[in-house]
Amino acid sequence: MKTQKSDKPPVNPINIEFISEPEKITLSNKVPVFIINGGNEEITKIDFVLRAGFTSEEIPLQSSTVARMLTEGGSEKLTANEINHILDYYGITFNVTTDRDLTVISAIFLSKYFTKALELCGEIIFNPKFPEDELKNLMNRRLQGFLVSREKVSTIATEHFFESIFGKNHPYGIRLSAEDFLRIKPVHLRNYHSRYYTPQEMTLFLSGKTPPEAKEHLDNYFGSIEHFPGDRKKSPPLPYGEKKRNLFIPKEGAVQSAIRIGSQTIKRSNPDFASLLIVNTILGGYFGSRLMKNLREEKGYTYGIYSYLVSHELAGYLLIATEVGKKYTQKAVKEIFKEIKLLQKKPVKERELEMVKNYMLSDLVRMFDGPFATAESFRLVWESGIDMSFYQSMAQKIKSITADEIIHIARSYYDIDELYTVIAGPEK
């Protein structure tokens, strides 16, 4: 009954079938539409991607509030209750997110309701009303959510981290205050909507099962939206970090400290990005990472630790994030820096390199598994102004990267003196 070690099955090479650039069409008003057709299920997704993030705001919360009000304030033809009823009646999942550069509005629905969903999206997204009473109600609720999130060391540390690396006056780094939630008025929303929910700011992504006459339908519902005459808000300058590189924010009664360590870094369009992604993965980008093995599986300081490499329009950033038992706070910080320095000094051993390579290659496979995943992966490169060849070069880089290159990249992009360390937790 005993299985011998030699019984270990062989590991087969992981093949990646890359998908070429998606089909692109253009609506009558020049709105580009990318189509990723496919999948076994009768499900369709449409994403409305608008260049309407924090950087285009006149006052804080403007972009996210416009997006949130779409289903809260009603439209020209429908009340908010009617909108929500119809969405649920047809089983349409309607979702909005806003970040530093973009607002993304997504609808996922059964393919048989294609035209119904498009019609409804058109009404909700492009003909909204912003009544004062509903706005006030939403902002009071959001304020409470904000106050609750302010009780979490994870939120406190993350907010201060971004303020530190991007600067407190830059839209990338701005930290909200309670007053921001009470200041916003319907006129801010109307102005913002009429300027940014426009063809010149918009790109559509259609994925899943799409009918052959998709283009006609899209043009019918979104092709006649008019351009706004006038320029968008001037892009802010590149963000600059604050001088202070070590920050401690006390949180009374906390039983864990949240640690955030990182800095600004290169964007996805930089040729070194894929290599940096590999280094980031080794350090803390997957469960087998060095940080996870050290701080969780050896020392038991934390439930989990991850590091992230994220690219935005104006800057990228590296971030190591964890929550640790309060008595381990200083030890954990020390170990994190130890692991970074180790990556800069000692070559990665062959087995670890093989593991991270195979993990990353199969992760690439997951990124193209089905039309929705493919559409998301495409959007990621599209946002950075590059194309799908990024993934082919990334696969090449994963296969070819050497231990020496890893040392070189770790030294070039993790500058110990430049890293910010932000901790929120109980006083020592």
Cβ count within 10 A of residue 379: 20
- Applying the rule CB under 8 A, the residues between 162 and 191 that interact with another protein are 178
Position 380 contacts another protein (CB under 8 A): no
- Applying the rule CB under 8 A, the residues between 28 and 47 that interact with another protein are 39-43
Of 22 and 208, nearer to another protein (C-beta) is 208
Of 170 and 357, nearer to another protein (C-beta) is 357
Amino acid residing at 298 = E
Position 234 contacts another protein (CB under 8 A): no
Position 325 contacts another protein (CB under 8 A): yes
273: left (phi over 0), alpha (psi -120 to 50) or beta: alpha
DSSP state of 70: T
# chain residues binding another protein, by CB under 8 A? 81
Of 108 and 276, nearer to another protein (C-beta) is 108
Pick the binder of another protein from 3, 231, 400, 417 (CB under 8 A): 3
Position 18 contacts another protein (CB under 8 A): no
Position 303 contacts another protein (CB under 8 A): yes
Are 362 and 352 in contact by the 8 Å Cβ rule? The answer is no
96 by DSSP, 3-state: which?
strand
Position 287 contacts another protein (CB under 8 A): yes
Q: How far is the CB of 83 from another protein (least distance, A)?
A: 8
303 by DSSP, 3-state: which?
strand
Q: Which stretch binds another protein (CB under 8 A): 19-27, 195-203, 227-235, 369-377?
A: 369-377
Cα–Cα distance measured from residue 94 to residue 113, given in angstroms and rounded to the nearest whole number: 14
Are 406 and 278 in contact by the 8 Å Cβ rule? The answer is yes
Position 296 contacts another protein (CB under 8 A): yes
Cα–Cα distance measured from residue 259 to residue 153, given in angstroms and rounded to the nearest whole number: 9
Pick the binder of another protein from 70, 254, 283, 343 (CB under 8 A): 254
Q: Which stretch binds another protein (CB under 8 A): 253-261, 263-271, 392-400, 404-412?
A: 253-261
DSSP state of 59: S
Cα–Cα distance measured from residue 53 to residue 55, given in angstroms and rounded to the nearest whole number: 5
DSSP state of 419: -
Q: How far is the CB of 211 from another protein (least distance, A)?
A: 18
- Applying the rule CB under 8 A, the residues between 264 and 283 that interact with another protein are none
Cβ neighbors of 387 (< 8 A, separation 6 or more) are: 21, 381
Q: How far is the CB of 288 from another protein (least distance, A)?
A: 5
Closest CA to 210 of 125, 132, 113: 113
Pick the binder of another protein from 249, 355, 380, 407 (CB under 8 A): 355
How far is the CA of 89 from the CAs of 75, 110, 210, in angstroms?
Answer: 18, 12, 21
Of 137 and 235, nearer to another protein (C-beta) is 137
